Homo-oligomer: A and B are copies of this chain.
Amino acid sequence: MKLIKNFDMKNKTPKAVILLSGGLDSTTCLGIAKSQNFECYTLSLDYGQRHNFELKAAKKIAVYFNVKEHRVIKINIGELGGSALTDKNIAIPNYQDSNEIPVTYVPARNTIFLSIALGWAEILGADDIFIGVSAIDYSGYPDCRPEFIKAFQNLANLATKMGIKGNSIRINTPLINLSKAETIKLGQSLGIDYSETITCYQVDEQGRACGKCDSCVLRIKGFKEAGVIDPTQYQQFVS
């Protein structure tokens, strides 16, 4: 049984901060938090990503899910460079089935995102943070692995006033052991409409996906394996 420690006295609803990029995974995470009756606070990060079309998608999704509050935090880490996601001089590669971590890796991204979510969670009095990482069908980013999440949860409870006062902060990763197809099936069972979600690293100005980057290829494969019609708008026909 889930132990609910922190709740608003008026409505007895526990609060959760959900990192919402506007993609398939984070949207599913929000659906899961909603289905678990959390009062949902969604957080998007505007970090100079070239695919910031996703920020618009996140806002629409937050409205659709009727979250309590949606916030966008701006942080100019993109200026530091080091990733194809923030540096327009580095091309987004097509999907490659390789063990190498691709150039789309943004150094320390999930550490930074979770830290900001932690700060907001403490302000709100929320014990729960949701992040849609998966260590299956992913790009090999180190900050998507269970050992990273465990270490962050340990840190969170040492870093904060609420942590040392005995509130136990949980980093919820409901998708961490799910394949993309399993995530999509789970989302379907929760009634999630994926047509508004943006996964692609290089959507065009109309919000259409490229169909070629890591992120697109994993998504296309996921819909196929799940036997669900892919509602994504692509720039060209994707078989």
Contact = CB atoms under 8 A, between A and B. Distances in A.
From A108, A148, A158, residue with most partner B Cβ within 10 Å: A108
B123 A107 contact: yes
A74 B71 contact: no
A115 interface: yes
B123 A143 contact: no
Copies in the complex: 2
A174 interface: no
From DSSP, what is the main secondary structure of chain A's interface residues? Answer: helix
A120 interface: yes
A31 interface: no
From A73, A74, A77, A118, residue with most partner B Cβ within 10 Å: A77
A158 to B, nearest CB: 5
A111 B107 contact: no
A74 to B, nearest CB: 5
B151 A147 contact: no
A82 B123 contact: yes
Given A77-B116, A115-B115, A123-B81, A108 B158 contact: no
28 contacts: A71-B79, A73-B77, A73-B79, A74-B74, A75-B75, A75-B116, A77-B116, A77-B119, A80-B123, A82-B122, A82-B123, A106-B119, A107-B120, A107-B123, A108-B118, A110-B159, A111-B118, A111-B119, A111-B159, A112-B119, A115-B115, A142-B158, A142-B164, A145-B158, A147-B158, A151-B155, A152-B155, A154-B155
Given A108-B118, A111-B119, A151-B159, 14 more contacts: A80-B119, A82-B119, A101-B161, A105-B161, A106-B119, A108-B116, A108-B119, A108-B122, A108-B160, A110-B159, A111-B155, A111-B159, A142-B163, A155-B155
